[in-house]
Amino acid sequence: MDFSLSDDQKAIQDAIERICAGFGDEYWLKKDREGGFPTDFYDALAREGWLGICTAEDQGGAGLGVTEASIMMRTIAESGAGLSGASAVHINIFGLKPVDVFGTDEQKNRMIRPMAEGRAKACFGVTEPNTGLNTTQLKLRADKRGDTYVVNGQKVWISTAQVADNILLLARTTPLEDVTKPTQGLSLFYTPFDRDRIKVSEIEKMGRKAVDSNELFFEDFEIPETDRIGEEGEGFKYILQGMNPERILIAAEAVGLGFAALKKATAYAKDRNVFNRPIGQNQAIQHPLAICQSELEAAWLVTMKAAWEYDQGLPCGASANMAKYLAGEAGFNACQQAVMTHGGFGYAKEYHVERYLRESLIPRIAPISPQLALCYIAERVLGLPKSY
């Protein structure tokens, strides 16, 4: 059993670090204050082909695995880009996996290559205001009229909708009362984002101002049948293809963010003198930071295990949910401890750790809550009865 990175994986890490070095703390501090999608950062990764790291070579990508993508996403977050940098490219890595698995050859060529090459941006439309994590209860309707679907309804918490060229959309094509299982009757589409028929309202939020989150209002939005992925009514099954990779990648990002915060806290603890000695000499400072290091390392190992299982074609749901839970908690704890280590200065934006703390709540909450991850582990691993 070898826990070290391969030479190729180290080369990926080095290449991403080199790109990120051109986008330092001041760049991300400015983005945090002013907002605006980090297009130059996105383009820098696209130029060197990193947005297609998990995409097949014949579709314009590098053909690597979720393991390599996790290394990449941790490196981005750990550079100080945090969730602002990671979220800018997050959907490129896993978002069109349903198209790759269930789409036609024509759809794959038309839809995946532009994403992998950075020529098109996309958003993922699943969550709705009144359903939350209960995806089977989605209300957004796509009514078929001839060879076109007409969509009406709402979505919420849709990232990058301000800049998206296309949308991966899950909509109900058969009313809930007309299906035998709630997972039936949902269809998946990937189609151009028509701003004449989709009203986009940005949500002001706590952190990650550089990557927008939005509420979407659809009014007679038309989707050609050729943009439906797979069979009508089977969309819920299709989006499952992206759920485990998403959990793994968000775990990697949480670990990276935690290590970024830990680096800041450790450096400050070495340099800050109180009562004529560095505060890092005090065990009350040392021990919490050592715990954070241990938690982050453990979360990273589980994340790598989950990524390896996925790349080997093995069941990875349990490991992916464990990784998401452990990394979300470890990242948050490290960011919180970094603020506390800085004392009052931790509350100042110029020291960056307060930004990390705000962003650390994202991988705790999304794409699922820690409680739902624990429910999965309780039911699927421990064999306990379903609780909801």
Q: What is the mean pLDDT of residues 115-130?
A: 94
Chain-centroid distance, C-alpha 297: 20
221 backbone φψ class: left, alpha, beta (φ>0; ψ -120 to 50):
beta
Report which DSSP code applies to 345: G
Considering only CA atoms, which of 118, 122, 108 is closest in space to residue 56?
A: 108
pLDDT attached to residue 241: 87
Contacts of 88 (CB under 8 A, 6+ apart): 37, 38, 41, 42, 160, 210, 211
Round the CA-based radius of gyration of the chain to a whole number and report it: 21
Q: Examine the pLDDT at 253 and tell me if it is beyond 80.
A: yes
Band of residue 135 on the pLDDT scale cut at 50, 70, 90: confident
Report the 3 state secondary structure along 68-110: HHHHHHHHHHHHHHHHHHHHHHHHHHHCCHHHHHHCCHHHHHH
Band of residue 108 on the pLDDT scale cut at 50, 70, 90: very high
pLDDT attached to residue 350: 96
Query: What DSSP element (H or E) covers 228?
Result: strand 228-229
Band of residue 269 on the pLDDT scale cut at 50, 70, 90: very high
Band of residue 94 on the pLDDT scale cut at 50, 70, 90: confident
How are beta strands 122-125 and 166-172 bridged, if at all? parallel
Give DSSP secondary structure letters for 109-178.
IIIIHHHHTTS--EEEE---TTTTT-GGG---EEEEETTEEEEEEEEEEEETTTT-SEEEEEEESS-GGG
Q: How far is the C-alpha of 320 from the C-alpha of 311, rounded, in Å?
A: 12
For the stretch 309-363, pLDDT in tens is: 999 999 999 999 999 999 999 999 999 999 999 999 999 999 999 999 999 999 9
Go through the domains of the chain in sequence order and give each one's CATH number: 7-104+109-116 (1.10.540.10), 122-235 (2.40.110.10), 237-381 (1.20.140.10)
Band of residue 75 on the pLDDT scale cut at 50, 70, 90: very high
Q: How far is the C-alpha of 114 from the C-alpha of 127, rounded, in Å?
A: 25
For the stretch 9-62, pLDDT in tens is: 999 999 999 999 999 999 999 999 999 999 999 999 999 999 999 999 999 899
Q: Examine the pLDDT at 133 and tell me if it is beyond 80.
A: no
Considering only CA atoms, which of 350, 372, 306, 301 is closest in space to residue 330?
A: 301
Inter-residue contact 70 to 306 (CB < 8 Å): no
Burial of 149-176, coded b for 16+ CB within 10 Å and e otherwise, reads: bbbbbbbbbbbbbbbbebbbbbbbbbee
Q: Provide the residue count of the chain.
A: 388
Q: Examine the pLDDT at 122 and tell me if it is beyond 90.
A: yes
Mean pLDDT of the residues in the chain:
96
Band of residue 113 on the pLDDT scale cut at 50, 70, 90: very high
pLDDT attached to residue 28: 98
